[in-house]
Amino acid sequence: MARMASLYRRHRPQTFADVVGQPAIVRTLSNAVQNEKVHHAYLFVGSRGTGKTSVAKILARSLNCVNGPTLEPCGECEACVSITNSTSLDVIEMDAASNNSVDDIRDLRDKVGYAPTREGGWKVYILDEAHMLSGQAWNAFLKTLEEPPPRTIFVLATTEAHKVLATIVDRCHRFDFHRPSLEQITTVLKRIADAEGIEADDRALAMIARSAGGSFRDAIGTLDQLVTYGGKQVSFEDVMELLDVADAETVFAATDAVIARDPGAALRRVQELSDAGRDPVQFMRDLTAHLRHLIVVQTLGEPPDSFSVTADQVPRLEGQARDLSQAEAVRAIDLLADAVAAVKDGADPRTQLELALLKAARPRSDASIEALLMRLERLEQGEPDGGAPAPAPPKRESADLPAAESEEAPPPAPALQGDLELARLWPAVLERVRESDGGEMMAALLADARPLTLEDDVLVLSYPATASFSKRKIEDRANGERLSQALRLVSGRPLVARFEIRDSEGDDHPGSAVRLTEDELIARFKSEFDAEDLADQHAGETAAAAEEN
* DSSP-derived secondary structure for 158-203: ES-GGGS-HHHHTTSEEEEEPPPPHHHHHHHHHHHHHHHT-EE-HH
User: What is the location of CATH 3.30.300.180 in the chain?
Assistant: 422-515
Which residues have C-beta within 8 Å of that of residue 246, sequence separation ≥ 6? 240, 273, 276, 278, 282, 283, 286
Whether the predicted pLDDT of 516 surpasses 60: no
Contact (CB, 8 A) for 297 and 318: yes
User: What is the location of CATH 1.20.272.10 in the chain?
Assistant: 248-378
Report residue 19's pLDDT band, with 50, 70 and 90 as the boundaries: very high
Cα of first residue to Cα of last residue in the chain, in angstroms, is: 111
Q: Quick one: what percent of the chain has pLDDT higher than 70?
A: 77
User: What is the location of CATH 3.40.50.300 in the chain?
Assistant: 7-177
Whether the predicted pLDDT of 528 surpasses 60: no
Residue 14 per-residue DSSP state: -
Whether the predicted pLDDT of 127 surpasses 70: yes
Per CATH, which fold does 248-378 belong to?
Answer: Zinc Finger, Delta Prime; domain 3 (1.20.272)
Question: pTM higher than 0.75 for the full model?
Answer: no
Average pLDDT rounded to a whole number, residues 342-363: 89
Q: Pairing relation of β-strands 458-463 and 450-455?
A: antiparallel
Q: Tens of pLDDT along 231-249? A: 888 888 888 778 766 677 8
Per CATH, which fold does 422-515 belong to?
Answer: GMP Synthetase; Chain A, domain 3 (3.30.300)
- Say which CATH architecture domain 182-243 belongs to: Orthogonal Bundle (1.10)
Report residue 387's pLDDT band, with 50, 70 and 90 as the boundaries: very low
- Position 39 scores a pLDDT of 93
Name the average pLDDT for the chain: 80
Whether the predicted pLDDT of 482 surpasses 90: no
User: What is the location of CATH 1.10.8.60 in the chain?
Assistant: 182-243
Average pLDDT rounded to a whole number, residues 18-37: 92
Contact (CB, 8 A) for 182 and 189: no
Whether the predicted pLDDT of 394 surpasses 60: no
Q: Tens of pLDDT along 44-96? A: 999 988 999 999 999 999 999 998 789 999 888 999 999 988 889 899 998 88
- Position 428 scores a pLDDT of 78
Peptide bond into 494 cis (omega under 30): no
Amino acid at 415: A
Which residues have C-beta within 8 Å of that of residue 341, sequence separation ≥ 6? none
Q: Give the phi and the psi of residue 505 in degrees, each rounded to 5.
A: -95, 145
- Position 176 scores a pLDDT of 94
Give the number of other CB atoms < 10 A from CB of residue 152.
Answer: 19
Average pLDDT rounded to a whole number, residues 284-312: 82
Q: Please check whether the domain covering 7-177 is classified as CATH 3.40.50.720.
A: no
Average pLDDT rounded to a whole number, residues 341-361: 91
pLDDT-wise least confident of 64-68, 203-207, 386-390: 386-390
pLDDT-wise least confident of 274-278, 336-340, 529-533: 529-533
Give the number of other CB atoms < 10 A from CB of residue 274.
Answer: 14
